[in-house]
Amino acid sequence: MICKKMCLIAVNISVDKDRSGYISADELQVALSNGTWTPFNPETVRLMIGMFDKQAMGKISFEDFGSLWKYVTDWQNCFRSFDRDNSGNIDCGELKMALTAFGYRLSDGIVQLLVRKYDRLGRGTIFFDDFIQCCIVLQVSDYKIK
């Protein structure tokens, strides 16, 4: 536990480039990796900052960062478990399996629509950061419907 906390402190220090004690969306985007050597989607970063920014300042504190880091790690483990071919991205079939496991019952057409919406390269797949964004948007939409 102490080692985990020390590692998290080291990551926080390296991410907080301006030494403000807070992590901005730009700093967080640089720190996060979607496993493809491309920057994290800025919209996904913005959504996550909004979720964890308890002070509503547009940036996160060290405590907020710890929670966000765990959130991203949990999503990463989830993503890897559904990336059956270990390609580093999720296709329609893999996304459907993931969303079904989360309790969503979506038609193949809706899943294909989601992949088209979150597929930045037009290859019929979505990267890790876009997977998080897709799931956050679905979760928020589901919450608003209820």
Residue 86 sits in a domain of what CATH number? 1.10.238.10
Q: What pLDDT is attached to residue 16?
A: 67
For residue 26, is it left (φ>0), alpha (ψ between -120 and 50) or beta? alpha
Question: What pTM was computed for the model?
Answer: 0.80
Q: What is the number of structural domains in the chain?
A: 1
Residue 86: how many other CB atoms lie within 10 Å: 6
pLDDT in tens, 10-60: 555 667 677 777 888 988 888 787 666 677 899 999 999 999 998 888 998
Sorted by sequence, the CB contacts under 8 Å of residue 67 that are 6+ apart come out as: 52
Give the domain range for residue 75.
2-12+21-145
pLDDT in tens, 50-97: 999 988 889 988 888 888 888 888 999 999 999 999 999 999 999 999
Residue 59: helix, strand or coil by DSSP? strand
